[in-house]
Amino acid sequence: MLKKRVIFVLLYDNGIFSYSRNFCLQKVGDLNWLKQNYNFSHISFFIDELIILDVSRGERDSDKFNDHIGALTEECFIPIAAGGGIETASQARDLFKHGADKIVINSLASASTEVINEISMEFGRQSVVISVDAKLEEGKFNSWINSGSTRHTPLLEWLTDISKLPIGELYLNSIDNDGVGNGYHLDLLDSLPESFPVPIILAGGAGKYEHFADALQDDRVNAVATANLFNFIGNGLEKSRNKLLSNGFNLAHWDSYIALKMKNILI
């Protein structure tokens, strides 16, 4: 049985890390602020992966984003997925060169499956995460693209198409619950086609431990993700993971002392 995972998500907006609420961005702080408030060499032992998404509005500076990826990988002992605005295989290669272990693709999936095939063939399908943003409208879920600005197709239809792509994971995100902190939109899972072939990361709505627990109890959920910068400052992630472990959730148990010693951090 696959281990369940807890994933932390950072939203990058033109050099500033931001907080999102229903896809409206609020700037929080730069890389120095992030390092002051989140010790990633410590947090790495209480999350399973880190996702960094470039959600910059307008023109993106790929080189600057890549530099931030490189800076964050220096402190993390865990896999890092990065994405946002990827349109070519070359952009994906640059992210891998700067330390990303996986790339996250959203709108590209609706524009060019050929590029996804190319990335998957070169780096392996396990390195490709497809991100889907969904919104509830008149009782039905629709998928949205272009940073949540363009309605795409009914969610079930889009997930059925995605299930045929050479990908390793699905990142399923609720626009309605994004940043609200009232819990995940578990009804999103009912739009999954039967026997969806890859692990599901559920995102959008986590604000406390109970939200992680509610989602991870669902057999369809392989991982929970949170981008809530404020609720998990300090030792919030550490407390949540320890509580999940103590309540029998099938998470990996990292021995921080041994890992730090191997990194020659402890004397």
Q: Tell me what pLDDT residue 234 has.
A: 76
Output the tens digit of pLDDT for each of the chain's 267 residues.
Answer: 689 999 999 999 999 999 899 989 999 999 999 888 887 777 888 899 999 999 998 888 999 999 999 999 887 889 999 999 999 999 999 999 999 999 999 999 998 899 999 999 999 999 999 999 999 999 999 999 988 889 999 999 999 999 999 999 999 999 999 989 999 999 999 999 988 999 999 999 998 999 999 999 999 999 999 998 777 777 888 899 999 999 999 999 876 555 555 445 444
* Catalytic residue ranges: 133
Is residue 247 classed exposed, middle or buried when 0-12, 13-18 and 19+ CB atoms within 10 A define those classes? exposed
Fold assignment, 5-262: TIM Barrel (3.20.20)
- In single-letter form, the type of residue at position 163 comes to S
> Residue 256's pLDDT is what?
57
Amino acid letter for position 21: R
Sign of the torsion angle spanned by Cα atoms 194, 200, 206, 210: positive
Q: Helix, strand, coil % (nearest 5) of the chain?
A: 35, 25, 40
Contact 216, 249 (CB under 8 A): yes
Provide the residue ranges of all domains of the chain, joining segments of one domain with +: 5-262
49 burial level (CB within 10 Å; 0-12, 13-18, 19+): buried
- 146 vs 33: CA distance, rounded Å: 28
Give the C-alpha separation, 25 to 23, whole Å. 6
Per-residue model confidence (pLDDT) at position 260: 53
At residue 4, the 3 state secondary structure works out as strand
100 three-state secondary structure: coil
Phi/psi of residue 124, nearest 5 degrees = 95, 140
User: What pLDDT does 255 receive?
Assistant: 66
Kindly give the residue spans of alpha helices, DSSP state H, lying in the chain. Answer: 31-37, 40-43, 62-73, 89-97, 108-111, 113-123, 155-162, 209-216, 236-246, 256-262
